[in-house]
Structure 1
């Protein structure tokens, strides 16, 4: 399960919008919003977000237990 609340916070802390992140991972903003809603991203997309957002502990965001 992805902690979308934490991911949104990190996106904002880095000065990006969700639209910016959509562009980084190569999807449309609409697709990004849908992925956030259902909490599912591909491994390549996760890797790009970890690098771009300098996420130090990706496990607590992308592989969180409920």
Structure 2
């Protein structure tokens, strides 16, 4: 979690509940104020125990799958 940037959208893993959560950059101010490093790569934040993150995959739709008016 030492390279985690809370100002960017990503996915974070919550070890306490065994779930992966889509991270919102809107939570960055609260993260900056309330997140606590627990050591060993663990971050305590708002009842979560964050132990990893990954960038959101960048996907592109083929032109024939682009949204259009119905």
Give the alignment's TM-score, normalised by structure 1. 0.26
Higher relative contact order (CA 8 A, sep 6+): 1
Structure with bigger strand share is 2
TM (norm. structure 2) is: 0.26
More helix by share: 1
